[in-house]
Structure formats: C-alpha cells, structure tokens
Structure 1
Amino acid sequence: MFKKASFLLVRFAALAFLLSFLTACGIQPANNSKEHDAKTIVINTTFYPIYIEALNITRDIPDVKLVNIAPPVTGCLHDYQLSPDDLKKMSEADILIINGAGMESFIDKIVSQLPELKIIDASRGIPLLKSEGDEYNPHVWVSITNAILQVKNIGEQIALLDPGHAAQYKANTEAYAAKLEDLRVRMHQVIDDSGSREIITFHEAFPYFAREFNLNITAVIEREPGSEPIPAELAETIDIINETGTKVIFAEPQYPAKSAETIARETGVKLYILDPAATGELEPDAYIKTMEKNMDVLREALNQ
C-alpha cells in the first residue's frame, strides 16, 4: 500500500512539473471552446466602414455581439499590423467580415492561424478597379452603389452562417439598403447636374465614387497616404491643373493636407475636404451622414 501511494505521488508531481513547464514556455493545454456564452454569435469586422455596415445588419438582434478589430481612428488598413489583442479577439469570434479587394493584407495569416473562423468577403462579386500597377483598389465602399452591394453581400452570407437569425438579418439588410438607395438618388440629383467634372483627390480613395458620379480625377496628390510627393510630382500636378482647368482639390479629414495646401496656394484653386468614410462615429447612420456632408461640399465645389 505504501509503495502504491508513493508511486501515485511521484506521478502527480511529474504531471504538475510538466504542466508548469508548458505554461512557462507559453504553451497552453488545448482548449477549443469559445470564452463567450454558447448561444452568443460573436462577429468581428476588420475596420470602420465594414463595422458600420455590419452594425446595421445586426441591429437589435439578440445573442449577436459585434466587435471591430482596428481602432475606428485607423482609417484604411494601409500597412496595418495585427496586434496580439487583435488575434485574441478573432480567436474568440465565430465570424469575421472583411472588406476584401486586397484591403486586409494580413488575411492569409488569419486563415492559417484560425482555420475554423468563418470569413465573409463584403466585396465578393463587385467589379474592381485597379490602382497603379496590378493591385486592385480596395476602397469599394466609397461608392454608394458598391456600399449597397457590400451590405447585401454581408446580409446574405451572415444569414447562411447563422440561420437562426436569418429573417432578422434579411429585414435589417433590406431596411439599410433602402436608406442607401435613397441617399444615392439624392446625391445623383445634386452631382449629376453640376458643371465641373474635373477634380484632384488626395489619395486613391475615390475612383469608385468618381466612376459612379461621372467625375474625372485628373491627378492624385499622394498615391499612399503619408508618402508626400516629391517636388517633381507637385510640379506635374500644377501643370495638370493649368492644362485641364481643374478648379478644386479635395483633401481628406484623416490625413494632413500640407501637400494639397501647397498646390492650392501655388495655383489659386480652392481646397475642400471630401471624406471617404474611413473613420467616424460608431453609430448606424454614420456613413449616411458623412456622405450627406460630401454631397453639400460637392454642391459648392463643382458649381463655382
């Protein structure tokens, strides 16, 4: 009896040592359970515009928790690096909604590390434009038409992944899409009859918007935000203004407007702020309010 007790004591001590060793090395015993209530569906969105779309689609649905990954002040995910906290949030999620179109450069990492996470691509099936080079322009949501398509994409896919709330997702999707349709009609009424069609934008956030409203982007000041143009590029933009008669430059509220201000000062063109809705308030109507402000700005800027 004494030998058997001693043997069990030795085995227990060895097991305790092994567990403490694994923990010290950062290795945790396997545990595939989510930390949230089993009834709750946790949905992650990668960044602000997709969060606002998903916020409307999941609005007032019980047992659905929506979590945004990138801070709402991040703006577009240019060179965004996932933090350990981001990965932790995703590991606790059931569904991840991405913009797609190349916006989330880290998506391969997510797929490899979290293979069971269900991913919804909001830009699936939307015709994409290319930036300079072979990369697609990911700023799909800036077009009202594309925002509607994204909302319908998310609504369809999320209902398939969470059929228990399918009817509510469908109703919310239709309600928000109708609001966006009304916004699109109102913006066309203002912009379609405007005189000037030539504009200069701060970075490549507006090609989809310009295509929808038949605007001609004659130049882009900074291809990538934060990469200020060299003097030769500034001079080229000034030449384009003189040649085309472009009357307005649009900066963005998310970035310093130093380069745009320099060009405006050198040419006498007017500088306005056009918002790509990449940051803002965390409320359901935030995108609509931002676009209504853009509509007012364009009404003035294009009718000088």
Structure 2
Amino acid sequence: MKKILSLLLCLTVLTLFSGCANDKETTSNNTENTNELKIVTSFYPIYIETINITKGIDGVVVENMTKPQTGCLHDYQMTPADMKKLENANIFIANGAGMESFLEDIINNQKQLHVIDSSANIPLLIDEHGENPHVWVSISNCITQVETITEELSKIDPNHADQYHKNAEDYIARLKDLQNEMHAAIDPLPNKKIVTFHEAFPYFAEEFNLDIVGVIEREPGTAPTPTELTDIISQVKNLPTKALFAEPQYSSTAAEAIANETGAKIYTLDPVVTGKDDPDAYIKAMQENAKTLQEALK
C-alpha cells in the first residue's frame, strides 16, 4: 500500500503540470463575407464530419469553435472569443449527449442560431457516471452523426441539400469501407480484454467486441485513487496479454506507473479529439488504431 500511495502522489504532482491535450493544429476557413452560410462546430471530431459534408460547396464556411488542443469538452468553459464566433454564425453543430455542458446556455442565449445535436439519433451507453458522450469513436455512430448533420443542414439550407447529401453519401461509403477493414483486422484477434486511458472507448469496444476491464483515469487529468490504482494493477496482472492503451492527447504518466508495476507494454489508441485540418483525419486515425490493436492483442 505504501508503494501504491507513493505512485499516486507522483501521478498527482505530475498531472498538475500536464496539459489536457497536444498542440496539433486545426485551421479555420472563416471569412467576413456576410453572404456566406457560417457553420461553427463545437470540437474536432464534429468539425471533421462537417467539413466532409460541406466539402466544395460555395458560400458555406465551417469553423471550429474551440482551440485545436482542447480535446474533449468535459469541463470546458466558453470564452469571449467563442461567443463572438457564435454571434456571427448561422448554425452551431454539437456532439451532444452531454459533451457540451454549455449547450443549453447557447440554445437559450443565441436565439438567432440554428443548433444541431449530432447525437440525437444514437442510443447512449450509461454507466455509474451517467451517459457516455464519446459516441463518434464508434464508426457506426460516426455514420449516424453524419446522416443527422446532413438532414438538418438540408432543412436549414435547402438550396444546397443535394450537395450535402452527395458529399455525405461519399463519406459514408468510405466510413463503411473503414468499418469492414477494421472488423477484418480486429475480429480474429485472440485476446479482446483491454485497459484504456479514460472513458473514450466504450462505443468503440462495443462495435468491435472488445472487453474494457479497466480504465486508468475516469476523467483526464484526475489521478486514480489508491483503491483504483490497486484494482487496475491487479487487473493488468491477470490479463493474458499485458497491454495498456494511452491516448496521444494526454500524459501517459499514470500508464507508465502501472506498466512499471505489471510489466505491461504501453500502446496508443486515438479517440480523434485533436488533429490536423484534414478531411481524412478520422479515417487515418482509426486505421492506426486497428494496427495498434493487431500488434497489442495478437
């Protein structure tokens, strides 16, 4: 127990100095042209979905509200710059499912703004901490979000409805190819038990029949309690394949401490909450996730 408490103290101190996410860049294609339809997205995965739907459509501008290093919006507080973006926007597209705790305030205070909840048609997973908002990490849910955004944009902007639907059909076809490719890679793996960094992967695990037996940090930046740390170490020691999955946006300090106690190897799974201004970013990250799982669980 002294060793566990010592590990916990180190993790807590180091967490105070760790950032929430990395500094990858997402650029904006915003403009001051008042004739344009201005769409603001809440954070990175919704931005990627939306730029695929609006690709090549003249007069439609998409800007991401939050800074590129923000990551998940668990406890995000809106800034004056965010409010200015929304005041100049026509449409705000959110993940929903509780990810944006400020969403109700936006709906109440920005009466001119059309708000799209992209998770509206997705059954949510619920645990002891409530509804899990990380729906996009499942490819099936990502497809549903693309469909929902497309339908809502078409209602708001019917002049571009055909283009929205054509772009969405093209992107969904690629997502379905990705889905088949990942099932082919993951389904045959002999070991399906994994320990993840935080609660970003339950929808992913459900889709690919993985069993999450432990979570290192329930909330990013919050070190595990002594009891949680003891339990995770015990779970990892009992795994047939000792692998821990960190995330590229967050410090791997906690995972490293557990690895030192168990001999487990650390791998990286990307929930795609940060990245470059690249329409293919989600597909590329998921392909890397499949390769990582193949290496770790073979």
Relative to the length of structure 1, the TM-score reads 0.86
Matches within 5 A, 1:44-63: 44-63=40-59
1:125 to partner: Cα distance: 1.3
Say which SS state the counterpart of residue 283 (structure 1) adopts: coil
Provide the C-alpha distance between the structure 1 equivalents of 2:128 and 2:285, rounded to a whole number of angstroms: 27
Unaligned runs of 5+ in 1: 1-34
Give the root-mean-square deviation of aligned CA atoms. Answer: 1.2
Matched, 1:96 2:92: yes
CA drift at 1:170: 0.4
Is 1:207 equivalent to 2:202 in the alignment? yes
1:113-152 matches, within 5 Å, as 113-133=109-129, 135-152=130-147
Aligned twin of 2:268? 273
Matched, 1:85 2:81: yes
Q: Tell me the distance in 2 between the aligned counterparts of 1:244 and 1:298.
A: 15
Match of 2:172 in 1: 177
> Quick one: distance in 2 between partners of 1:132 and 1:254?
25
Q: Report the equivalent of 1:164.
A: 159
- By how many angstroms is 1:36 displaced? 4.7
SS in 2 for 1:119: strand
Count the aligned residue pairs.
268
Q: Give the Å deviation of 1:153.
A: 0.8
Instruction: Tell me how far apart the structure 1 counterparts of residues 144 and 169 of structure 2 sit (CA, whole Å).
Output: 11
Alignment check: 8 A CA contact 1:50 1:97 kept: yes
Letter aligned with residue 178 of structure 2: L
Give me the whole-angstrom Cα distance separating, in 2, the residues matched to 1:113 and 1:199.
Answer: 43
In structure 1, what is the Cα distance between the partners aligned to 2:177 and 2:260? 37
**Does residue 1:222 correspond to 2:217, yes or no?**
yes
| Counterpart-to-counterpart distance in 2, 1:286 and 1:238 | 33
Is 1:297 aligned to residue 274 of structure 2?
no
Long gaps (5+) in structure 2: 1-30
Match for 2:219: what amino acid? Answer: E
- Contact 2:247-2:271 within 8 A present in 1 as well: yes
Q: Kindly indicate whether the alpha-carbon contact (under 8 Å) linking 1:75 and 1:254 is maintained by their aligned counterparts in 2.
A: yes
Q: Give secondary structure in 2 for the equivalent of 1:127.
A: coil
Q: SS in structure 2 opposite 1:145?
A: helix
Deviation at 1:73, TM superposition (A): 1.4
CA distance in 1, matches of 2:36, 2:258: 52
Tell me the residue number matched to 2:12.
Answer: none
Instruction: Report the TM-score when normalising by structure 2.
Output: 0.88
| d(CA) in 1 for partners of 2:167, 2:271 | 24
Whose RCO is larger (CA < 8 A, sep 6+)?
2
Taking the aligned partners of 2:99 and 2:187, their CA distance within structure 1 comes to 29
Question: Does 2:219 correspond to 1:234?
Answer: no
| Structure whose alpha-carbon radius of gyration is higher | 1
Identity of aligned residues (%): 53
Give the C-alpha shift of residue 115 in structure 1.
Answer: 1.7
One-letter amino acid of the counterpart of residue 105, structure 2: K
